[in-house]
Structure 1
């Protein structure tokens, strides 16, 4: 039992942030996401014997996704809760430290809020692919394993999600 616990702790527990992020994007409620992730970790522990090694993140995110869909079925809703993404400070894309004025902070928060809201408005199949690729940075193959769909379907959904997001954000300007 200690060996299995050590393996679980080493391979699965480091994926907690990714699990919460996916759950939060899908259920769009931070408290529900915590419950979903807790349920997913309990299921992951229960079925850890079926995990045959490799990268545990796609395996766990598949469980999280299934738990999210179970939550949807229990709640009978998927689009009623507002999504809020935490603000992150730090260097800009070119590596230079940003000069933060109240105006730039406000503009950045408004842009992030618009993008978060637009992602939240995507239908779940497109939202989950976009989150797994762009936020969790999973490969197409890992996303295909998480969602149990062909790699080509991942690519087409991701393309469509990006297009929908682009049009949604373009309509707001």
Structure 2
């Protein structure tokens, strides 16, 4: 690794750690496992930084995080259905909003309703199959384009669109009908 590689890593990858951690936390199901995944993903990114073409660093790094997640899941949870633990109050709100906002503090009633809605949404997302959850999180929480998600996931754009549509239908069915979607 060259000295320039270290500088590139610090400049290009470090600012994207929060995005990577959020994706890892969603896919692994908890912060502790996400930290393990991020260590592996960071090492992989660090070792490959000299080969990075800077056209879409965010998608490149999230691809590494995604692949590290799947490798970790295969090793530590082979053959089981993945369901993430619910995030705690403030973390749920920050994740849903995509960051800390300058909105005025909610009333206690609004905060309670928001926590209940966040818990329902998190539970509904947790109930999605991993492939649909991955696409939904990358699109809605990371605001990536279909093309970027296709690059990260290694599937055609049409598959991304199909998975996203099915995930959204599933969530709507959970909220409109109160039950599981087929």
Relative to the length of structure 2, the TM-score reads 0.85
SS in 1 for 2:93: coil
Cα RMSD (Å) of the superposition? 2.1
Taking a change above 3 Å as real, the CA distance of residues 171 and 64 of structure 1, as seen in their structure-2 partners, is: same
Using a 3 Å threshold, how does the CA distance of structure 1 residues 169 and 153 change in structure 2: closer, same or farther?
same
Distance in 2 between the 1:87 and 1:9 partners? 28
Q: Write the mapping of 1:109-120 to structure 2, written as runs, cut at 5 A.
A: 109-120=115-126
- C-alpha deviations, 1:77-136, integer Å up to 9, x for none? 4425523151437xx9xx994562221111100001110111111000000000000000
Which residue of structure 2 lines up, in the alignment, with residue 18 of structure 1?
Answer: 19
State which of 74, 82, 86 in structure 1 corresponds to 2:85: 82
| 8 Å contact from structure 1 (residues 36, 67) kept in 2 | yes
Flag structure 1 segments of 5+ consecutive residues without an equivalent.
Answer: none
SS of residue in 2 equivalent to 1:84: coil
Inter-partner Cα distance in structure 2 for 1:83 and 1:126: 18
Give the 3 Å change call, closer, same or farther, for CA 81–128 of structure 1 in structure 2.
Answer: closer
Q: Is the 8 A contact 1:27 1:78 kept in 2?
A: no
Please give the secondary structure, in 2, of the residue aligned with 1:53.
coil
8 Å CA contact retained: 2:26, 2:84: no
8 Å contact from structure 2 (residues 83, 126) kept in 1? no
Superposed displacement of residue 152, structure 1? 1.2
Equivalenced residue count is: 169
RCO comparison, higher one (Cα < 8 Å, 6+): 1
Deviation track 1:5-30 (CA, whole Å, cap 9, x = no partner) reads 11111111111011001001111111
